[in-house]
Amino acid sequence: MKMDATKIPERTQKVYEKYPSGDPSCLIDLLQDVQEQYGYLPDAEMQNVARHVDIPVSRVYGVATFYNQFRFQPLGAYVIKVCRGTACHVKGSLDILRMLENELGIKAGETTKDLKFTIETVACIGACSIAPVIAVNDEFHGGLTTKSLQKLLKSYRKKAQNEEVPHEHV
Amino acid sequence: MNTYSTTCFDNCWHSADTPCPHFIDCIASGQQCDGSHNEHASTRSADAQGTAATERLESFKRRLLFVEHDVPVIFVGMGTCGLANGAQAVHDALKAECEVRGINVTLIPVGCMGYCAREVIVDVKLPGRPRISYCEVKTKDVPAIIEHTLLGGEIIEEKLLGLYEPGETEGWEDAAVLGQLPFFAKQQKVNLENCGVIDPESIDQYLARGGYRALSAAINGRSGQEVIDDVLKAGLRGRGGGGFPTGKKWQLARDTQADKKYLICNADEGDPGAFMDRALLEGDPHRVVEGMIIAAYAIGASYGYIYCRAEYPLAIRRLELTLAAAREYGLLGKNILGSGFDFDMRIKKGAGAFVCGEETALMHSIEGRRGMPRPRPPYPTTAGLFGKPTVINNVETFANVTTVFKNGPDWYAGIGTESSKGTKIFALSGKVRNVGLVEVPMGVTLREVVFDIGGGIPDERKFKAVQIGGPSGGALPESVIDTPIDYESLKKVGAMMGSGGLVVMDESTCMVDLAKYFMTFIQSESCGKCIPCREGTKRLLEILDRLTSSYRDESTQEESLLRFQGMVYLERLASVIKDTSLCGLGQTAANPVLSTLHYFREEYEAHLYERHCPAGACRELLTYYIDTDKCNGCGVCARKCPENAIIGEKKKAHYILEDKCIRCDQCRVNCNFDAISVN
């Protein structure tokens, strides 16, 4: 999308007001808040951020690409987080991940073309008691097998089909 | 009186702006002063007004602790593990059902009580009766709980986990008691005493259970040096993994002269398989904050940060409420409890980088930079955050600080072993019956934790190993499972205390695969600053990858020979990485490989020589085949196969082309006749 880089859009105005300009120590907080607004970090906003904290854009990118949390592409309507913690691994989360990748035709970290599904892996959700576990838009599903996963995916596919514009995309 | 923030008697002048040194003492043991700004508590008034105020405080405390209450109380375990098991739905159902029936109840969301395997846990406290704990509650059980327990005063046996105290009421005498269950019997809940018991969002309940008494005891009329001396006397060592004596670290920071000092709580719990810090922050955040204020006082820090993973939204929300409440009560901010000491803090959300658990990387991250470690010295206690002296401790350490001052350093030093004092919280998970959070005194053996508390391995399988210390630790087999849990003993057997993840593995876990898993993790989390870690871990991973690869994926004979060459150099490579890496992440990176190689050499050999995975976990080494007697040729597998590796005529037995098969398991999962087997 096109965005006027010299003017801060209304959407994130409040975010910038929260942090004093010219203070690089709030860079990560600022990026987190901007991402919360869009679901990812649009290029134009990266420049706004750089101007706000008064450091080169290259350094903003340097920081943003270092951390796993930041994304530069929009997310799917359903974000499937596959836990790859030790407990989940021992209970077969790699099979779960492979199956998801197979079924949706994308790799971890990617989004389907129709913007319905995104697969992400996380180091540990902390729900080790119900391993292997995945979280779909922060709804947890535990004790999965490849069989039960297929059922689950079916139900989400149905849901995704029924909702035309699931949530706002930029 | 509805909260402790309202004054207990007319002359009391405690507020956030004018804090009274006796505020906590009043809550603990009744009115302490006559409100005349006198220094000493000896002026406590004995008049009628004083007695009335004391009585008011006492009765408020009894109500807060639910010793005295008119309406039944229901506690729902709503930590992350509870929520993952559907606690929100149970909570909502309870609320709706009570509203429909017009029953007056108090519904309180609490943190995790530790027994994650039996979530959702719902406690019911009827007036004048002991608290009942129900486990594995589903929404469909809600009407029964309300009908039988809430209205009928009966215990539902099938759902009962146990009572908090032995029941004296008729019909309740024989009910199980929580403390006697195998899961709880060998535990010593000190730092977790409030988790799952109190409402973590209520500072009043925390105060009523003796909260902030440690702070009051530590800072009232005592110097920071005396506080440090007490921590040294207690023998507290850092719970983040390394086990550095906490008092020593504080001493170094205290002795450094500077205009500003910082305190950081490391809540970037990135170890896969560890969730102790999350449970503490979700279940008893005030305890951690209290420990931080004590630490700040001891070293003379004026500002603090809690660096918490963004993946823990609930913990962050609760921490925000906690800090706000502490400020409102004059426990954080200017002139804390009238001691003249100023301290405040804020939460920094981590952005997802495992290496940020390393202290110098974490500080870079707070400064808004890439979270990369730097060489030490200078140590953070000399030049840390923004170049100022800084102390970093982890969540559990701060919880322990509170315990030290709440119960006294001598009491604390009485628990544990000669070199390791106190208790340790472990996140027990993997192939074990009682998955959950356990707190044990130092010095108990791994066997006691896995078999007595953990209940052993489910499905009648055999114990194989327990992984301790996360990606920096090691996997320990049955032969050393009687090792006592303390910093030194674990190092001796090739593991380390780590932050407290304990993952149990049975015979179906492949140790080569486990090593590969940890290497993959470390490889992707290596920050890339130093070459031994960046390149070394990559080479290590390649060696392991080749080990678990099938001959089908190898085009030339040299590739097969590379497998052997890799194994020859593996140990040397590991020791180079260990000796030359910049930070702890790199220096310990090879530990999972070395410990599995040491204890499970024959498994490595089976992979290397026979290309066989004894546990059947390494996918590439498996062979799929169809049992021609069972296959009726329905064709489902052929349609599901992403590689078109299954052929066959309709209604006749099908075959798998081994060269094409990618072992994705789709055919086996989808076969309705169990005709597909794996070798």
Write down the pLDDT at residue B85. Answer: 86
Going from the C-alpha of B180 to that of each of B166, B174, B422, B424, B432, the distances in angstroms are: 10, 12, 22, 20, 20
Can you say whether the dihedral through the CA atoms of A18, A23, A26, A30 is positive or negative? positive
Name the closest residue on chain B to residue A127, using Cα atoms: B81
Nearest Cα of chain A lies from the Cα of B427 at a distance, in angstroms, of 9
CATH number, span A78-162: 3.40.30.10
For residue A158, pLDDT over 80 is answered with: yes
* CB-CB neighbors (< 8 A) of B372 in chain A: 66
For residue A142, pLDDT over 80 is answered with: yes
Peptide linkage before B378 cis (omega within 30 of 0) = yes
The span from the CA of B501 to the CA of B589, in Å, is 16
Average pLDDT over residues B426-450: 94
Q: Note the maximum CA span of chain B.
A: 99
Weakest-pLDDT range from B42-56, B61-75, B225-239: B42-56
Q: Looking at this protein, which amino acid is placed at residue B586?
A: G
- Mean per-residue pLDDT of chain B: 91
Write down the pLDDT at residue B42. Answer: 46
Write down the pLDDT at residue A6. Answer: 61
% of chain B at pLDDT higher than 70 = 98
According to the CATH classification, is domain A10-66 in 3.30.420?
Answer: no
* CB-CB neighbors (< 8 A) of A146 in chain B: 665-666, 669
Write down the pLDDT at residue B365. Answer: 96
For residue B360, pLDDT over 60 is answered with: yes
* Confidence band, pLDDT 50/70/90 cuts, at residue B201: very high
Nearest Cα of chain A lies from the Cα of B358 at a distance, in angstroms, of 15
* Confidence band, pLDDT 50/70/90 cuts, at residue B48: low
The CATH T-level fold of domain B211-413 is Rossmann fold (3.40.50)
Start-to-end CA distance of chain A, whole Å, equals: 7
The span from the CA of B390 to the CA of B403, in Å, is 22
Which CATH class for the B423-509 domain? Answer: alpha beta
Token duo for residue B34: 């006559």
Q: Looking at this protein, which amino acid is placed at residue A82?
A: V
Write down the pLDDT at residue B41. Answer: 45
Other Cβ atoms less than 10 A from the Cβ of B225: the count is: 13
Nearest Cα of chain B lies from the Cα of A77 at a distance, in angstroms, of 19
Average pLDDT over residues B349-370: 94
Report the b/e string of B637-671 with b at 16+ CB within 10 A: bbebbeeebbebeeeeebebeeeebbbbbbbbbbb
Write down the pLDDT at residue A123. Answer: 81
The beta-carbon neighbor of B501 closest among A66, A86, A98 is: A86
For residue B38, pLDDT over 70 is answered with: no
Subunit contact B273:A87, Cβ cutoff 8 A: yes
Nearest Cα residue to B59 out of B68, B50, B51, B47: B68
Q: What is the pLDDT of residues B55-113, one digit of tens each?
A: 888 889 999 999 989 999 999 999 888 888 889 999 999 999 999 999 999 999 999 88
Domain boundaries, chain B: 73-185, 211-413, 423-509, 512-610, 623-678
For residue B503, pLDDT over 80 is answered with: yes
For residue B147, pLDDT over 70 is answered with: yes
Write down the pLDDT at residue B169. Answer: 79
CB B314 within 8 A of CB B279: no
For residue A140, pLDDT over 60 is answered with: yes
CB B514 within 8 A of CB B505: yes
Q: What is the pLDDT of residues B520-537, one digit of tens each?
A: 999 999 999 999 999 999
Q: What is the pLDDT of residues B571-607, one digit of tens each?
A: 999 999 999 999 999 999 999 999 999 999 999 999 9
For residue A170, pLDDT over 50 is answered with: no
CB B645 within 8 A of CB B660: yes
Q: What is the pLDDT of residues B267-308, one digit of tens each?
A: 998 888 888 999 999 999 999 999 999 999 999 999 999 999
Weakest-pLDDT range from B299-308, B492-501, B603-612: B492-501
Subunit contact A124:B310, Cβ cutoff 8 A: no
Contacts (Cβ under 8 Å, ≥6 apart) of B25: B32, B41, B216
For residue A168, pLDDT over 60 is answered with: no
Write down the pLDDT at residue B37. Answer: 60
Asked whether the whole model's pTM tops 0.90, one would answer: yes
For residue A3, pLDDT over 70 is answered with: no
* DSSP one-letter string for A118-159: EEEEES--S-GGG-S-EEETTEEE-S--HHHHHHHHHHHHHH
Ordered alpha helix ranges (H), B528-612 = 531-547, 557-580, 584-587, 591-599, 601-605
Domain boundaries, chain A: 10-66, 78-162
Subunit contact A86:B366, Cβ cutoff 8 A: no
* CB-CB neighbors (< 8 A) of B470 in chain A: 86
Q: How far is C-alpha B407 from the chain's CA centre?
A: 23
Subunit contact B665:A130, Cβ cutoff 8 A: no
Q: Best of B429, B504, B619, B624 to disrupt the A interface by mutation (most A CBs within 10 Å)?
A: B429
* CB-CB neighbors (< 8 A) of A89 in chain B: 272, 514, 517
Average pLDDT over residues B158-185: 89
Average pLDDT over residues B440-446: 96
CATH number, span B623-678: 3.30.70.20
For residue B659, pLDDT over 90 is answered with: no
Token pair 């906690």 is at which residue? B322
ipTM of the complex: 0.87
According to the CATH classification, is domain B73-185 in 3.40.30.10?
Answer: yes
According to the CATH classification, is domain B512-610 in 1.20.1440.230?
Answer: yes
Subunit contact B431:A67, Cβ cutoff 8 A: no
Subunit contact A86:B272, Cβ cutoff 8 A: yes
- Hey, is B674 helix, strand or coil? coil
Write down the pLDDT at residue A169. Answer: 47
Rounded to 5°, the CA angle B57-B59-B64 comes to 90
For residue B13, pLDDT over 70 is answered with: yes
Name the closest residue on chain A to residue B347, using Cα atoms: A29
Write down the pLDDT at residue B49. Answer: 65
Nearest Cα residue to B625 out of B636, B611, B637: B637
Can you say whether the dihedral through the CA atoms of B13, B284, B110, B73 is positive or negative? negative
* CB-CB neighbors (< 8 A) of A123 in chain B: 270, 272, 354, 521, 525
* Confidence band, pLDDT 50/70/90 cuts, at residue B544: very high
For residue B242, pLDDT over 90 is answered with: no
Report the b/e string of B581-618 with b at 16+ CB within 10 A: bbbbbbbbbbbbbbbbbebbeebbebbbeebebbbebb
The beta-carbon neighbor of A128 closest among B368, B435, B669 is: B435
For residue A165, pLDDT over 60 is answered with: no
Subunit contact B80:A69, Cβ cutoff 8 A: no
